Amino acid sequence: MTESYYPDVRALHLFSEMADEHFEALMRVSYVQTFPPQIEMITEGDSSDFLHIVLSGAVEQFCTWNGRETIMSTIRPISTFILAATIKDAPYLMSARTLEKSRIALIPSQDVRAVFDADGQFARAIVTELAQCYRSVVKAQKDIKLRTSLERLANYLLRQQRYSGGGQGFDLPIEKRRLALLLGMTPENLSRAFKALQAYGVTVDGAGVHIRDREDLERFAKPSALIDDYSS
Amino acid sequence: MTESYYPDVRALHLFSEMADEHFEALMRVSYVQTFPPQIEMITEGDSSDFLHIVLSGAVEQFCTWNGRETIMSTIRPISTFILAATIKDAPYLMSARTLEKSRIALIPSQDVRAVFDADGQFARAIVTELAQCYRSVVKAQKDIKLRTSLERLANYLLRQQRYSGGGQGFDLPIEKRRLALLLGMTPENLSRAFKALQAYGVTVDGAGVHIRDREDLERFAKPSALIDDYSS
DNA sequence: CGCTATGTTGATCCATATCAATAAGTGTGG
DNA sequence: CCACACTTATTGATATGGATCAACATAGCG
């Protein structure tokens, strides 16, 4: 089972087009580690020694400053993270911790940079990936600078509903405490925000969310392709 | 004077390493346009037909949603913008307008993508540039999610002081109304924030700012390399 | 089954937005 | 070069979104 994850990694956009020999070279120097839940794998400011790939489980990226903490994103399989720091050989800007027991593949950053110099296809894939990451953060920035917390929650629920298949009912993928920090609010405020959305047909029971009438909620949330679309 | 801007563009990290023939090819299909102040050159949602380069003047990127507006960044010569949209051939996420009369070089996006496919050096330069852009937005996101508006202003002033040479006095590079939106606050709140920073030795007269004792202000602002350093 | 972390609710406080009025610039045309 | 118009900046009064503090309920988990 040692290299059973190769095909999963190879299937990622980032690695699917590169030359076999380069992919093999990267995989040979990489290794897999299994982390228990709630382990801080990366601390912001650390030098970026490895490109990380979440094979199973879940990881969240968070930041702290002056005793405060916020969550930047949660990462689910199969995807990479901290690509930008790896490429720039610069310190991590975000910390990362496991949410669940997780298998993580680690590729030494210097090898990633070496192959990046040698393989044009890989370099191009990295560009696409980075452009995607950049646009995601810009959207997050718009979300937080242009919307109130209630509007952010409403749009989050609409995105989540779509992501989970479009049915009226779905489960929150992370606990509410974390969702609050992800949305830039406190857990108490999130609780009240859920109640406020009852006026637009949203009911919550534990992690379960039910949206009675999507259009009703959309009239309030005013989702925008330029903020809420993950695909573009 | 038609192609007098070639050397300036060539000097940018993004273009300095690529093959001469590819650079020439890009320049041949590019052109320069002079815009008066306050012209909206790009509207969010538009398709990304050109990579833009600010040769002189100043441009700001801003976003709107539901009748609200925020400023994302201001761009001064010589630098490119909307690289990510160009690369992904995706709609602009941000609008852009000139602040002053500005000369802008425009390179058709499809040519950028073509050269990006053909020139490994150019692809690598784009990666570095995108990684830089990504990290800048992440820092902005941390700034706004972890700090109060007063703390954001204090750190902005410290950054600006450093950027302008480190002397006690310097001028704000943009008008306060815009600075407020850039920092995620209202102009009224910015006015009050400046007064509040008097307690830490900051005095303001028009666009002129004076910081009596940098360390005093730093004790309050707590600048961090992982938020406030432009270079890394 | 009990402990601990998570979630909810209420009361209150604080930061920031909004509304309104005034002052100070800035540019324009006579 | 000045007067007018218009935008920007400031200041005050008030409203509100959201945070904080505290108490309690609930749900996981060993």
Encode pLDDT of A80-94 as tens digits: 999 999 999 999 999
d(Cα A171, Cα A210) in Å, to the nearest integer? 9
Which ranges constitute the DSSP H helices of chain B?
Answer: 6-10, 13-16, 20-29, 83-88, 109-118, 120-146, 149-163, 176-182, 187-196, 214-221, 225-228
Closest CA-bearing residue to C1' of C24:
B206
Is the per-residue pLDDT at B2 higher than 80? no
- CA A192 → C1' C12, Å? 16
In 10 A of CB A176, how many CB atoms?
15
Is the per-residue pLDDT at B3 higher than 80? no
Asked if B196 is an interface residue toward chain A (Cβ–Cβ < 8 A), one would say no
Q: Write down the pLDDT at residue B232.
A: 76
Q: Which residues of B touch A93 (CB under 8 A)?
A: 135, 138-139, 142, 226
Q: What is the pLDDT of residues B58-116, one digit of tens each?
A: 999 999 999 999 999 999 999 999 999 999 999 999 999 999 999 999 999 999 999 99
d(Cα B13, Cα A211) in Å, to the nearest integer? 49
Give just the sign of the alpha carbon dihedral B171, B174, B176, B181: negative
**Mean pLDDT confidence for B189-211:** 96
Q: What is the mean pLDDT of chain B?
A: 95
d(Cα A40, Cα A96) in Å, to the nearest integer? 6
Q: What is the pLDDT of residues A168-204, one digit of tens each?
A: 999 999 999 999 999 999 999 999 999 999 999 999 9
Cross-strand bridge partners of residue B204: B209
d(Cα A184, Cα A68) in Å, to the nearest integer? 12
Q: How far is CA A206 from the centre of its chain?
A: 23
Q: Answer yes or no: do B127 and A131 touch at CB < 8 A.
A: no
Q: How many CA atoms lie within 13 A of B206 on its CB side?
A: 3
CA distance A120 to chain B (A): 5
Is the per-residue pLDDT at A232 higher than 80? no
C-alpha separations of B115 from B3, B92, B109 in Å: 20, 21, 10
Chain C: positions less than 7 Å from a protein CB are: 6-11, 15-20, 25-26
- Written as one letter, the residue type at B93 is L
Q: Answer yes or no: do A146 and B68 touch at CB < 8 A.
A: yes
What tokens does A83 get?
A: 């690509």
Domain annotation for chain B: domains and CATH numbers:
3-144 (2.60.120.10), 147-228 (1.10.10.10)
Q: How far is CA B126 from the centre of its chain?
A: 17
Q: How far is CA B76 from the centre of its chain?
A: 7
Contacting B residues, span 147-176, partner chain A, CB-CB under 8 Å: 147, 151
Interface residue of B46, B117, B130, B185 to substitute, partner A, most A CBs within 10 Å: B130
Q: Write down the pLDDT at residue A2.
A: 59
Is the per-residue pLDDT at A1 higher than 80? no
Helix (H, G, I), strand (E, B) or coil at A169: strand
Sheet holding B208-211, edge to edge: B169-171, B208-211, B202-205
What tokens does B109 get?
A: 């996006």
Q: Which residues of B touch A90 (CB under 8 A)?
A: 135, 232
Asked if A223 is an interface residue toward chain B (Cβ–Cβ < 8 A), one would say no
∠B54-B184-A42 over CA atoms, to 5°?
Answer: 90
Percent above pLDDT 70 for chain A: 99
The radius of gyration of chain A's CA atoms, rounded to the nearest angstrom, is 19
Q: How far apart are the first and last CA of chain A?
A: 36
**Mean pLDDT confidence for A145-174:** 96
Cross-strand bridge partners of residue A160: none
Q: What is the pLDDT of residues B157-187, one digit of tens each?
A: 999 999 999 999 999 999 999 999 999 999 9
What tokens does A172 get?
A: 């929150």
Q: What is the pLDDT of residues A3-43, one digit of tens each?
A: 689 999 999 999 999 999 999 999 999 999 999 999 999 99
> For residue B214, what pLDDT band results from cuts at 50, 70 and 90?
very high
Q: How far apart are the first and last CA of chain B?
A: 36
d(Cα A75, Cα A79) in Å, to the nearest integer? 7
- CA B189 → C1' C21, Å? 17
- Nucleotide nearest B207, CA–C1', reads D9
- Nucleotide nearest B148, CA–C1', reads C15
Name, in order, each residue with C-beta under 8 angstroms of A31's C-beta and a sequence gap of 6 or more.
Answer: A105, A106
> For residue B144, what pLDDT band results from cuts at 50, 70 and 90?
very high
